[in-house]
Every structure is written in C-alpha cells, then in structure tokens.
Amino acid sequence: SQLTPFKNSLDDTERKEAWIAEGKWYKEKQKDIDAIYDSLVHLRDTMAKKMGYENYIPMGYYRMKRNCYNEEDVKKFREAVVKYLVPIAEKVYQRQAERLGKSYPMSYADNQLQFRSGNPKPLGDADAIVAHAKKFYDELSPETSEFFRVMLEGELMDLLSREGKRSGGYCSGLKEFKVPFIFANFNGTSGDVDVITHECGHAFQGYLSGKDPIIEHRDITMETAETHSMSMEFFTEPWMGLFFGARSPDYVDM
C-alpha cells in the first residue's frame, strides 16, 4: 500500500518504474504464488467431490449464497457487461487519455493517472480525514452519526499503513460484539477518502443489521454489499470539499 503514491505519481517515469518494481516482485514470487493457487484449486475440487458435486462451481455458488441463480445466469450477465458496459468504460478511458495527452489505449501505468495536474489528494492528514468524516456523518442523519461515533469510541478502525501490514482495505465484523470493523491502509492518496465513505457504507449496513439475533441475517451477499458502499459514496459527495477543496469536482469525476 505504501507503493501506491508512486504508482499514481504525476511523473511519468516514476509512475512506470513503480509499476515495474511491483511487477518484478510478483515475478520473483511467481513460482510460489502459482503453487499456492494450484493447491487451492485441487483442495476445493476435492471438497466439492466429497460433498457429491461434479466440481467446485455449484458448491462455490452455494457458499457465496447464490441459491437462486447459476453459472448460466452469470454467463448471460457477463455477456450483457461486454455489450452494454464495456463501451461506456471505453469512452471514459478515451476521455482520460485526451486529458493526459496520451494515445488510446493507454499503458497500465498511465491508466492510474486521472489528470495531468495529478490525481486529487486529501488536504489533511489521517486525523483530519477522520474529523471531516465525523462532521458529515453527524450532518447526514442521526443514524449515521450514532454509527460513526460507535466506530470511533470502540476503536473499530485500523486505518494507517505501516511496514509489514497486510495491503488493501475492507470491512469485516466482530459478530460476538455485533459491530463492524474497518481495516485500511491510509497512504496520502484519494483512496483514504474512499475508505471513509465506501468501507463505511459496508460498515453502516453491518452496524444496522448486526443487532439481528439470527447471525445469517447479519451477513449479505457480495453482490448486494456493493449497493451499500457505493451508495454511501454518492450520499457523501456534497461534503467532498472538506477533503479536496477546489479539486473536489475532480475527485467526484474519478
């Protein structure tokens, strides 16, 4: 996660070198990663056959609580994505290439730079981001205000990036305490604000449903989960000026 600011660098050479450095690390570990992946595939195949399935696909669908549609339905969905969404995404990337003065399609490194002036970054540090988040959650609704105060008072967010910490960010839960928990890696990029909106969208859903006495009702499918997280991003757009100042429209446009 600490490499991310360099992968988003305004300097074309530095940005590309950062991506090459990350790729080199994966290439050096390729043999080990491939072996782990291969063992996991065989393990899941064995699990499924012990349960009486032909392979892991139907078992995987049930484990993900996909009990009302199958791989044929998903195939149709993928085809619809290719037909309807890919052309829209292509137009977005073409517009980005024009802004940057790059030819389309862009390289993997150029894809990460949204504006020639650089990607918008939060104006303050981690404490400022949390303080701004508290302000807009207080103003958004009584329910979100209560939720975020519980997150703060319970120390239910591990936000700062540090050496040796797992990369990425996600929302989990402490079911015995009926509260959500947010894991993140703040690194001075716009992704820090994504955490405080997107992951808090997941957490807010977990907070509201966490009181259900039936544990299975507290959890939701992966497909449904993104409805809550993306909705929170849209709900909080009016407060983005707190984080990005004059560049808040650029952040929203990303």
DSSP line for 190-206 = THHHHIIIIIHHHHHHH
SS3 174: strand
Quote the DSSP letter at residue 186.
Answer: E
Whether the model pTM is above 0.75: yes
Q: Coil, helix or strand for 171?
A: strand
Contact (CB, 8 A) for 210 and 180: yes
pLDDT at position 182 is 98
- Provide the pairing of β-strand 170-174 with 179-186: antiparallel
pLDDT value of position 203:
97
Instruction: Give Cα separations from 30 to 1, 7, 23, 108, 165 (angstroms).
Output: 20, 21, 10, 19, 21
Give the per-residue pLDDT at 192: 97
The vertex-222 CA angle with 120 and 233, nearest 5°, equals 30
- Helix-strand-coil split of the chain, %, nearest 5: 65, 5, 30
Q: Is 131 in contact with 40 (CB distance < 8 Å)?
A: no
Residue bearing tokens 């032909």: 54
For residue 215, what are its two tokens?
């544990």
Tell me, what amino acid is at 183? F
List per-residue pLDDT tens for the chain, 254 residues long.
899 999 999 999 999 999 999 999 999 999 999 999 999 999 999 999 999 999 999 999 999 888 888 899 999 999 999 999 999 999 999 999 999 999 999 999 999 999 999 999 999 999 999 999 999 999 999 999 999 999 999 999 999 999 999 999 999 999 889 999 999 999 999 999 999 999 999 999 999 998 888 877 777 888 888 999 999 999 999 999 999 999 999 999 88
Are 169 and 184 in contact, with CB atoms under 8 Å apart?
yes
Q: Residue 186's beta-bridge partner residues?
A: 160
Contact between 169 and 183 (Cβ < 8 Å): yes
Which pLDDT score, from 0 to 100, does residue 254 have?
86
Q: Of the candidates 236, 6, 1, 197, which has an alpha carbon nearest to the alpha carbon of residue 118?
A: 6
